[in-house]
Structure 1
């Protein structure tokens, strides 16, 4: 799949079909794996030019000048490839010729960036910490230490604020150095923006404006009143650390048979109102640190009575989770408000129990927020992930804000929607499809927060009505796509990134071979994973396994080579041969199998899948396995139980967990301490190599994965065994004294493939 990786290296795009069907009939044959593009808007390109002027746009369809435009140098005219409209070049392009091209017409610069000259000074970034205090003292100590570290890492010119909550919500006034002041809101009450402004004394010194919206300095708030709650990071460090030092567990008593009174929803509501009043439209992040389930006020997910369990997947399926729909509705409203204000909600949830990630998902995802889930605030998954947010240098996340994403495409293509971290701006146009998937019915989306890794999955459909004969005669068999991303760069400047793609379409005889030649199996698996996750959340009575199986059988019977009713004659082109394997692992993955996972964990896994690029998503679907031994250098191993050998070490990367697994002989030698003896240097190096590789993986991931170091037959070996193909189980006929045996009733890949061939040839 190297050629598709090369395409991604040029334009940050991977498409399942790189040759597209040209007619509606042809596209219905490929409709199982949709026509889609996984695009990473801010992927770093070292060689991409940054142009210091505004882009040149088509007068009719507003698309930006690109290398696919037809240029008449003599008449100084360019023809837009999207609408075929003729446009005149403005005077400052007068010296243009085929030997003197502007950068945007260079054939290799299909992705280019424009930087607008700043008319106003760049706005500082804002971080508002919202901190849960209903936890045991030990957890609070872990969180305090992580937060004081984070405050020290904040960018110089950023602003910071602090809200703590438990039974009540406490907004801390940080800009009044002498006397620490706190404004308190009751957790069980709904708080409006007006009440926040009134109660926090925004109009104590000057009268409230009689008309208009009250938001920011421009609309009637004084800089002085905003500066009481949002202070610059350098000034606020001392004030925040003072508050954190004195921060204690929520003082309200909790009866032994009850949960703590925690008003998460009200705290986030107050935070959204505060930012909406003080800094509307500028890059601000609410960073929520939550250590347990919300039990009070808006967004509660469970009652205070401990005997009532927190909702499970079974409760959601049976519709017997009394708080769920009400909480989701509240967070949908919060998401709408935050998107309107242009603010992001980040979620750091650390608890042994559930905290409500499933309900909060909508607000985090629509605003493009970050999410990390761990068992404790002392866990490296949380601590290292929080550090990564503010890290600069090689591994910085490249956090950007205030993004707007737009799509333009040829008239025979319609866009159905986007699966990913964005919100629809309801900008309807002729290229909107009637079929809506995800955030659809629009050609523009808001991305309040985005970073280097944020990836969107765009879904398209072909609407050409022509018959293949007329199409074959037409000269230009190209479809064009253009993706525009406006965003505020980390430097504070507004930029516009433009990516223009061209894909060939085919129709009539020979179509099948052309389509196979342009099929990207990895991208197809990732699009199917996002789509099946979306359908599981939105369609009642949806059976994911049946849907995936039917889709795979359809692809194999349409594109496989076989004689009818003869399974032995079945074969797949190398372009498609790994796709059944991806689907096999996807059926067994945490995105589809919700048994043994809580709704929070499932929501977390899907949120990460929905924002990651193809390479990372493939690792989530089908983990990678590397084998280390004395006999050879590290080599990839099959993701199969047969890979477990007593004198080998295995390194499994399943994205969320990285497992270093020692075979039984290696584990015995390690326990005997051989690696500490000078004559066994080679053994010490063998033990160290997978550790070093695991650390290298962990260093560049967000959220930071969990590292599990375990031995064959040990209790934590389950992290490895759950991901392997069960080719030998307790019910297998093979006598295997040496081989590891899995205690599972799951079918193996061989059996799966056998059934697939039998069904595909019918």
Structure 2
């Protein structure tokens, strides 16, 4: 916190809220002694009640924040806000209150209310966020502001509660959610949904930094964070590098800055031949309906305008369009050969300046009934994989008993049947254009990823993964779906390696970039030489350089990424080698251990390999190419995830 305050611009307005059993709003403008306002943590409190208790209800101008606000308003607006003595009690420029804040942090103590044996600590996260949102709502309209919530455990009382204080009640799991056996989940989601609506109407952002070994309620808070365009970081503790380095980056300026912007809107205009279904990503529908809105809705739909309270230089939205079956002709009778889409974006940058960006694109209509060559040439495999990943993640959240694996398999087979060349009843004859060559591999890794397979992940982790997938760039999202692997050895410079267990060798070092984690994996021989200290001997400088190279590359990856990924350093056959093995194609398992090359490794799994996945999809081609789908029973000996049972 001290480090963050030191990085803020001098004119950035800052406030502080702490909470535990109760919520404490600190009055920074009274520097003589520590003075604070206390709110009960057991009941929901409205914005009007908050302002009444603070004596701000009749002030008209109000206040700005519950955590930290960057310099997000024009100077004239700052002067207007600062003209209110009521606001000055709670909100001061960073240069004026740095000493007071540091003194408050020095005096800060754990919650004084005792925690009985067998109980969790009382934590009223929901009320604290309500107080912060209420204060923000009293500021001037159009002012960019952020609530930065540092959450160290689950909310155990008041609105937004995800689990009771009794330790005998476990925190909800995916199985509980599937069986509707999570008693607090729907009520908490409703509370955060209302909080999201309030923040969106005010144009303010909720950022979430969750640092705890247990779940803290990210799954419930997802709606408020995502709809306001907030940042989210999930770490094990406040001392972990994932939290510390990520928290520092949001305050950095210059090249290391995230380019945070505020209070944006997006409007889409397009030709009458297409309709807008909706958007998946960090935004909220403004419910501006019109003739361009499609009947079917995907994500935030039924509108042509969206609110983006927070955005940065890497924010990426997925827009879905519906092709209208109407006649594509203009009044003169000449067919329209092109369609047009225009994106109009307004936002306020970190300096408080307003920006307007307009991007207009033209695309050509293609008659796919006669030829598919132009469609094939325009196919982007990486973008298609990311769009499918975001779409299927949404369907898994909103549709009960949705079989994501089967849906992906059917989609892949339909694509191959449409654009592949083959002889009927001869799967070995199948060939496909190079523009589609990597797409089946993307689908194989997607169906094994944390976005589809929620087993062994908590609801908080699943929500965290999907929030980042929905907002990151195509390049970063592809790495989430299919990690990249580099190989380091004496015989060659660093080279890309297949994401396969066969890439493991005793005399190699592997660097895996899985976006959320970066893994440096030492082969068995490399690890033994390192443990013997050969790298410290002058005659083995080449070995020292080999050991250092993946560390340097890993730091370059970590430096440019937000949230900062977890760095895992492990050895072959070590306990943390699972971080690498879980991402590799299991081409060698315990069933084929006799075929493994010396020094390589095997994966103890029943998952199918990429080769089996492609081969078994081909078994059904003769029927699937004609779209004669029929369900086949799942044999009990099939591995999980199984080959497509179509």
Do they superpose with TM above 0.5?
A: yes
- Segment of structure 1 superposing worse, 279-288 or 571-580: 279-288
Displacement of 1:180: 2.0
Displacement of 1:618: 0.3
Q: Which of 3, 12, 33 does residue 158 from structure 1 map onto?
A: 12
How far apart are the structure 2 equivalents of 1:672 and 1:213?
68
2:162 corresponds to 1:301: yes
SS in 1 for 2:239: coil
Residues 151-550 of structure 1 aligned to structure 2 (within 5 Å): 151-202=5-56, 208=58, 223-466=84-327, 474=334, 476-507=336-367, 509-550=369-410
| TM-score normalised by length of structure 2 | 0.91
Displacement of 1:517: 1.3
Residues 528-677 of structure 1 aligned to structure 2 (within 5 Å): 528-677=388-537
| TM-score normalised by length of structure 1 | 0.78
Displacement of 1:324: 0.2
How far apart are the structure 2 equivalents of 1:235 and 1:548?
56
How far apart are the structure 1 equivalents of 2:441 and 2:411?
14
Displacement of 1:747: 0.2
2:551 corresponds to 1:691: yes
Partner residue, 2:640: none
Displacement of 1:591: 0.5
How far apart are the structure 2 equivalents of 1:221 and 1:746?
62
Displacement of 1:278: 3.0
CA 1:509–1:474 in 2, change beyond 3 Å: closer, same or farther?
A: farther
How far apart are the structure 2 equivalents of 1:692 and 1:175?
46
SS in 1 for 2:518: strand
Displacement of 1:179: 2.6
How far apart are the structure 2 equivalents of 1:551 and 1:734?
36
Runs of 4+ in 1 over 6 A off after TM superposition: 212-222
2:576 corresponds to 1:722: no
Displacement of 1:359: 0.2
Displacement of 1:594: 0.4
Aligned pair count reads: 608
SS in 1 for 2:347: strand
Contact 1:728/1:734, CA 8 A, preserved across alignment: no
How far apart are the structure 1 equivalents of 2:134 and 2:496?
52
Displacement of 1:279: 4.2
CA 1:682–1:433 in 2, change beyond 3 Å: closer, same or farther?
A: same
Displacement of 1:342: 0.5
SS in 1 for 2:188: helix
- Segment of structure 1 superposing worse, 367-376 or 147-156: 147-156
Contact 1:214/1:221, CA 8 A, preserved across alignment: no
Structure 2 residues not aligned, in runs of 5+? 65-76, 624-646
1:546-596 Cα shifts (integer Å, max 9, x gaps): 111111111111111111121011111101111110000000001111000
Displacement of 1:236: 1.5
How far apart are the structure 1 equivalents of 2:582 and 2:353?
47
- Segment of structure 1 superposing worse, 148-157 or 574-583: 148-157
1:703-728 Cα shifts (integer Å, max 9, x gaps): 00000010000000000000000001
Displacement of 1:155: 1.9
Displacement of 1:761: 3.5
Contact 1:553/1:759, CA 8 A, preserved across alignment: no
How far apart are the structure 1 equivalents of 2:126 and 2:567?
32
How far apart are the structure 1 equivalents of 2:371 and 2:325?
15
How far apart are the structure 2 equivalents of 1:640 and 1:474?
54
How far apart are the structure 2 equivalents of 1:689 and 1:329?
49
How far apart are the structure 2 equivalents of 1:456 and 1:621?
17
SS in 1 for 2:415: helix
Partner residue, 2:635: none
How far apart are the structure 2 equivalents of 1:197 and 1:222?
18
Partner residue, 2:626: none
Displacement of 1:474: 4.4
- Segment of structure 1 superposing worse, 279-288 or 351-360: 279-288
How far apart are the structure 1 equivalents of 2:517 and 2:51?
45
1:248-290 Cα shifts (integer Å, max 9, x gaps): 1101000120001100001001110011113443101000000
2:606 corresponds to 1:748: no
RMSD across aligned positions (CA): 2.0
How far apart are the structure 2 equivalents of 1:506 and 1:199?
63
